[in-house]
Amino acid sequence: MILALESVFDQCSVAFVDLAGNVIAEQTLTGNRLQTQQILPMIHALMTASSIDWSQLTAIAFNRGPGAFSGIRINTAVAQAIAFAHDVPCLPISSLQAIAQAAFERHQSPHVLALTDARMNQVYAGEYAVSDGIMQLVAGATEHLLDYDSVIDKDLALVGNGATLVNAQLGQSIFADIRPSAVIIAKLGLTLYQQHQSVPAELALPVYLRNNAWKTLAEQQKA
């Protein structure tokens, strides 16, 4: 069983998926910032309702960022704590890959630039294309920061809540309403697990892309 966690996209989402890819249990609460109070009770409630025992846990998939600092911190801390407690590995999943995967499954977009608002007049960006049903970074691409109003002149779809903050080409597809749930995180995590790319809890680290992710809101507004 893989436990998947997602709290980066202004939501609290938890899912259990078996190693065949079947969703056993899931719950997503959106539109609030109460993840610290919600995530552990949600995990326990799903386990109770679905008769899941900790002994069935194989790995933990979690959104490792980039994205909202507090959401990434919650995901990482909970994943590490459970992994240490139950001696299971972690499966760190990129938030940008999750956006790209959700866009592929919802809008059949096989080639996208995943964009999420990084504040401070920038977006996090990553170019993804589908391979065997899974969105992967295109060859030579990296996750990086782009300035607001950057011109995107490639023939691909713009997806994620940062898609409207850059300049698209005329007629370019834009899907800004993408909010991947823990089920998407679980699916990508299962792929990593099958490829033997899990990591121990101590190496399950967040990715911020920005060294000053710790800035206060007041400091961010001055930037």
Amino acid letter, 104: F
Please give the mean pLDDT across all residues of the chain: 93
The single residue listed with the structure tokens 């992967």 is 136
Q: What pLDDT does residue 107 have?
A: 97
Span 90-104, average pLDDT: 98
- With 0-12 / 13-18 / 19 or more C-beta atoms within 10 angstroms meaning exposed / middle / buried, residue 135 is buried
- DSSP letter for 179, please: -
Amino acid letter, 25: A
Q: What pLDDT does residue 10 have?
A: 84
Print the SS3 string covering 111-149.
Answer: EEEEEEEEECCEEEEEEEEEECCEEEECCCCCCEEEECC
Structure confidence by residue, pLDDT tens digits, 53-72: 999 999 999 999 999 898 99
**82 or 38, higher pLDDT:** 82
Structure confidence by residue, pLDDT tens digits, 142-195: 999 999 999 999 999 999 999 999 999 989 999 999 999 999 999 999 999 999
β-pair partners for 200: none
**Is pLDDT of 216 > 50?**
no
**Tokens at residue 113, please?**
């630039």
> Cα 98 vs. chain centroid, distance in angstroms?
5
- Compute the radius of gyration of the chain from its Cα atoms: 17
Q: What pLDDT does residue 33 have?
A: 65
Determine how β-strand 59-65 pairs with β-strand 2-6: parallel
pTM over 0.75: yes
Share of the chain above pLDDT 70, in %: 92
User: How far, CA to CA in Å, does 82 sit from each of 45, 55, 85, 187?
Assistant: 16, 12, 5, 19
Cis previous bond, 92, omega within 30: no
**Is pLDDT of 219 > 70?**
no
Q: Are 26 and 183 in contact (CB under 8 A)?
A: yes
β-pair partners for 142: none
Cβ contacts of residue 59 below 8 Å, gap of 6+? Answer: 2, 3, 88, 89, 90, 91, 189, 193, 198
